[in-house]
Amino acid sequence: MTTSASLPADSASEASAGGSVTDRLVEANQRYAAKFTDPGMDASPVLHVAIVACMDARLDLHAALGLELGDCHTIRNAGGVVTDDTIRSLTISQRALGTRTVILIHHTGCGLERLTEDFRHELEDEVGQRPAWAVEAFRDVDQDVRQSMQRVRTNPFLLHKDDVRGFVFDVHTGLLREIDPSS
Ligand SMILES: [Zn+2]
């Protein structure tokens, strides 16, 4: 038995002779589409929820939260930070596509805990221009979740700010821990 034989049949990790990672993913898509039936949904999330989460590869939002296709919007970036672009997506999510609940998910062992704003200075030294964006590095993940909740709750463009909750996902146990916004 090979290692690949123990993986799910649809996994893009399944060994295929040659080809790039992208080629393997496109092959996996062909297997997916072969079994796909159009659920006939419109673009509005069934649960009226938008989730902002870190892009971390260990965080499988649909599996971790029992989500199904069509249930929610997922907005992901490095850190799960509420940036101007996150607000852009949340504003469209609420005003054009009917979501009312916002869930913020950061996690243990985030790469942003190992960075500082020096990252921007190093980039500037290397390429001759400073990025317009902040790194949004942090030391205290709980405090960072609180700051993200606060950015959502105080944003003037959003319609629904009364149902905003924040969590830290433990990458070792798979459990969410809720963050008290007031502590
Ligand atoms: Zn992260």
pLDDT digits (tens, 9 = 90+) for 149-161: 999 999 999 999 9
Distance 36 CA to ligand 1 centre (A): 31
Whether residues 91 and 22 fall in one domain: no
Distance 50 CA to ligand 1 centre (A): 18
pLDDT in tens, 12-43: 555 545 789 999 999 999 999 999 999 999 99
What is residue 13's predicted lDDT score, i.e. its pLDDT? 59
Between 174 and 2, name the one with better pLDDT.
174
Instruction: Return the SS3 of 101.
Output: strand
Q: How far apart are CA 126 and CA 70, in angstroms?
A: 43
In a domain, 40, yes or no: no
How would you class 155 by CB atoms within 10 Å of its CB: exposed for 0-12, middle for 13-18, buried for 19 or more? middle
Residues contacting residue 16 through CB under 8 Å, at least 6 positions apart: 23, 24, 27
Q: How far apart are CA 127 and CA 34, in angstroms?
A: 45
Q: Is residue 45 pLDDT above 50, yes or no?
A: yes
Distance 31 CA to ligand 1 centre (A): 30
Distance 151 CA to ligand 1 centre (A): 18
Whether residues 96 and 165 fall in one domain: yes
Q: Look up the domain containing 14 and give its range.
A: 4-35
Whether residues 29 and 54 fall in one domain: no
Residue that is written with structure tokens 């034989």 in the block: 5
pLDDT in tens, 52-103: 999 999 999 999 999 999 999 999 999 999 999 999 999 999 999 999 999 9
Distance 141 CA to ligand 1 centre (A): 10
Whether residues 21 and 99 fall in one domain: no
Whether residues 113 and 59 fall in one domain: yes
Q: Is residue 105 pLDDT above 60, yes or no?
A: yes
In a domain, 12, yes or no: yes
Whether residues 19 and 101 fall in one domain: no
Whether residues 23 and 101 fall in one domain: no
In a domain, 68, yes or no: yes
In a domain, 93, yes or no: yes
Distance 55 CA to ligand 1 centre (A): 6
In a domain, 120, yes or no: yes
Whether residues 58 and 85 fall in one domain: yes
Q: Is the dihedral of CA 18, 21, 27, 32 positive or negative?
A: positive
User: What's the total number of domains in the chain?
Assistant: 2
Whether residues 24 and 63 fall in one domain: no
Q: What is the CATH number of the domain that holds 69?
A: 3.40.1050.10
In a domain, 41, yes or no: no
Whether residues 28 and 108 fall in one domain: no
> Residue 153's CB: how many other CB atoms inside 10 A?
13
Distance 39 CA to ligand 1 centre (A): 32
Distance 113 CA to ligand 1 centre (A): 8
Confidence bin at 3 (pLDDT 50/70/90): very low
In a domain, 82, yes or no: yes
Distance 177 CA to ligand 1 centre (A): 15
Whether residues 77 and 146 fall in one domain: yes
- pTM tops 0.95, yes or no: no
Whether residues 15 and 88 fall in one domain: no
In a domain, 18, yes or no: yes
